[in-house]
Chain A
Amino acid sequence: MLTAPNLISVGIAALLTAGLYAVMSYGLAIIYGVMKVINLSHAGFLMLGAFMTLVYFQRWHLDPLLGALLNLPVFFAAGWVLYAVLVRRVMTSLPIASLLLLFALWLVLQNVALAIWGSEDQSIITAYTYKALPVLGFRIPLTRLLVFGVALATLGVLHFVLGHTYVGKALRATVQDPQAGVLVGIDTERISAVAFGLGTAFAAFAGSLLTLLFSFTPDFGGPFQLKSFTIIVLGGLENFAGVTVGAAILSFVESYAVLFMKASLQNVIAYALLVVALIVMPGGVAQLWTRSRS
């Protein structure tokens, strides 16, 4: 089991998964950062993104990758509307109220999807689904490489937007200090709407990418949502760069742990890590070195 090629191939797989995990968690991190709301409907939008990709694919033979791009504006608009109609109304109340509202939204999305598409496994088979490319002497499925490439590109664009545009800067300023943001003239209400739109769009985008790798049902999304929580908690909740770190940690721990335990127990690692991280290091892994420095 623990041969060098084996370790390297697991490492490559872990790296590829980390890219997907990062994209999948960014939406959650943006919404949490700006609004301090834990978005329990994240799973619903991951799932809906996947099903919309299926619809595009069946209706117009649209490739899942293009479907992912199409999902960005569609779900940005959906997120914006949901914010204006629902989420905004509970923002001033107890934090648990927004959590429960978004949880209810998840239930609604999930069961509407069940009513429309039923509970059977769905999958999207493209011309390249079963192709593989040699990388460092290992044959890697093409879909995984594509997903990783798209994930990297998206993270690059997102990084640029956050760092160099007005909206991005306003968004980060709001994350750091909402009141100071208001003082310098940022419309925080508007920024919250943008954040919820972006978060929803990224969830759906990630959902589309997931269709390249997995089959899906309306229940699909729950485990990915929990993993996203683990990732943003590991990353430090309000730290966008931390998302990538968290994604890498989770992905590598999961991938290598499978060498030592039953594969069916893999998800337990993420769940256990979530609970432990919440209790032991609410500031994320970054907390470990900031604390040791002081």
Chain B
Amino acid sequence: MTTEITSLPATRAAWTNGQWALGVVGVAVFLTILQYTGLLPGWLHRLPETVIPNFAGWLDAVFNFIKDDLGLLAFTRFLTEGLQWLLDASGNIFYGKRRWPFIGPIPWTALAAVAAIVGYYLGGWRLAILGGGTMVWTALIGQWDIAMQTISVLAIAAPLAFVIGLSMGIAAWKYAWVDKAIKPILSVLQTLPFFTYLLPAVIFFKVGPTAGAVATTIYAIPPMILMTTLGLQKVSPEVVEAGKMSGCTKFQMLRHVYLPSARTEILVGVNQVIMLSLAMVVLTAFIGMPGLGAKLLAMMGSFKLGRSFEIGVTIVLLAVMLDRMSKAWVVKQPEHFEKGTVLWQRHQMLLIGIIAFVVLTLISLVVPWFAEIGRGQDFSQGKELDNLIKALLNIEWVKATTGFLRAFLNVQVLIPFRNFLLSIPTPAFILLVAAFALALAGRKQAIYALIFFSLVALSGWWDRAVITLYSVISAVTLAALIGLPVGIFAARSEKWASRVLLICDTAQTFPSFVYLIPAIMLFGITDIAVIFSILIFAMVPLTRYTIEGLRTVPGEMTEAADMSGATRMQKLWNVQLPLALPTMAVGFNQAIMFAFFMVIIAAFIGTQDLGQELQRTLAGTDLGKNFVLGICVALMALTFDLTIMKWAADKKRALGLP
């Protein structure tokens, strides 16, 4: 409490962080000028190959030691057997894989009915239509099998992630040392690009669904841990004391008091587990996992836009359905029944569900159309859509616009910017980043930035790292140019704010992969498509947090501004924006994190950055290189994360905001 006051600089004569930062920038500019005038020695521009340590080789040695000498591989291969068995069973149930228990596949009509009834139970007619409609669409468009392949893995990976996350969350809440041990790991895991999850999964758990399921599970665990710990910590002390005074033992406390009271947070964790699992399961197509992702990858690869679009719609529908239903489950509170309600009325929904399921299954035994939509019976309009899209893009003004954007942005803005970034000498670049951290956050963050970026330089992938950074910076800048005005405009009225927030919410549930579809449609396979896909992905958090920041400015303050006779513009610039800035910074940070995530996926389109190299490693067994690349991305992302979040926290405290 008392320490906050003493954080003022000790002596007036000492340089402030800002002045230091300016000095550092000066040095960097000086180095760059030297480079341009040709006076800079080559070893100061880029690290010579000879001094770059063989991180990849060392990591490989470590991995090999763990894998073979410590017998981890034997152990994980053993686990693979069990996992394979589970996946086979769910595969049988969902799409009729010839494995135990030999009962599948469930007829699509039965599953659609159950989805509709679950939807109705959780959220009334709207969710019923969403649930049933998604299933019907998937079946009629002829994607039932591949969708069920995806779902069958999801049905194993998500519960697994839930159980592991919940147990680890409880452990972290109970024992401080566990918490301390996993916190840093979690923050690295959350910035590690997903390609880095994939290769170890493949090496340790075989190519295909098992590796896909493992990567998906690991990817989805962190938020579950965080939400569990958060929920348990938030249980009101009085409820805890009431439990103790009721004579609960430790286990009874956990089972009957803590976990039920943390229900909301735990269910929010479940929602995130499901959404992350879905996003990841689609991406595991890169390691040969069959399903929606694989199909989408193949269709995009052969530029069949119509089919890609249809698969994209299926993925989006599934995502929205799962998100809405699990969110409805979060807010669904138990309701009491009047006395004397009979059993079948209390469990009405369950009963209707079972009856519908049984009846439709029986019908499907007689009428094959109820069980499966055969080849050629579906309503897919892939070809027609293809032609339509091509026709649309061929309309003169559309073509002119995209062509102009492509040419102008590429030639006039993006490529010069990229070349400029690449021309900065490595040490100068590192100093610039450190200065940025120093000015915004403080010395500690600046030192982190220095260390992290030096490591990236030492990794030997500097140029590709700079290109990655270039994509991120240009896309986020463009996203800010569009997203911020949209947010500011929407925040002006209740109606528009809630509309735009709804769009943002929905867009955020889309698995990142589908953002590539419109990018490729509009701009083909070019650099602009990469930037564009990152841009729309990163715009979502920017807009969202701008609206939230502006909407949460206390009413009294805007009223005070109104009464002081401020115009709308004055109010915006002098009251609302300054107060919303910390929240907006959080959005900005998230946009950068999203961008780092997307830029790696966009490697699929064809880039020259770290993502491209990462993707290449997936084909081989280069674990060391894979990790070096992944950690490079994580280090860059972490630098921004630490700096911006610190700045936002400082600013919030200075403004006295909660």
Partners in one complex: no
Please report B residues at the A interface, Cβ cutoff 8 Å: none
Residue positions of A touching B, CB distance < 8 A: none
